[in-house]
Amino acid sequence: MSKIDKKLEQIKLQHQIGELLLQDNGVSCHFDYHVNLLSDYETIKLNVLTYNQRHNEYMLLHTVKGTSSIDCLTKTVTFLNQKDHRAKQRSYSVIWKKQGDSASYTSYFQAADEEEVTRKFLHEKNPDEYTFDISENPVS
**What burial letters (b/e) apply to 18-42, b meaning 16+ CB within 10 Å?**
beebeeeeebebebeeeeeeeeeee
pLDDT recorded at residue 86: 59
CB 119 within 8 Å of CB 135: no
* pTM (predicted TM-score): 0.88
Q: Does residue 12 sit in the same domain as residue 38?
A: yes
Q: CB count, 10 Å around CB of 127?
A: 10
Q: Does residue 76 sit in the same domain as residue 94?
A: no
pLDDT recorded at residue 32: 97
- 131: containing domain: 87-140
Q: Does residue 105 sit in the same domain as residue 138?
A: yes
Q: Does residue 21 sit in the same domain as residue 60?
A: yes
Q: What secondary structure does DSSP assign to 75-115, as a single string?
A: HHHHHHH-TTTTTTSEEEEEEEEETT-S--EEEEEEESSHH
Domain count, the chain: 2
Residue ending a domain, among 81, 96, 114, is 81
Q: Does residue 75 sit in the same domain as residue 102?
A: no
Q: Does residue 18 sit in the same domain as residue 62?
A: yes
Q: Would you give per-residue pLDDT tens digits along the chain (140 residues)?
A: 788 889 999 999 999 999 999 998 888 999 999 998 887 788 999 999 999 988 999 999 999 999 999 999 999 999 998 866 556 689 999 999 999 999 999 999 999 999 999 999 999 999 999 999 999 999 86
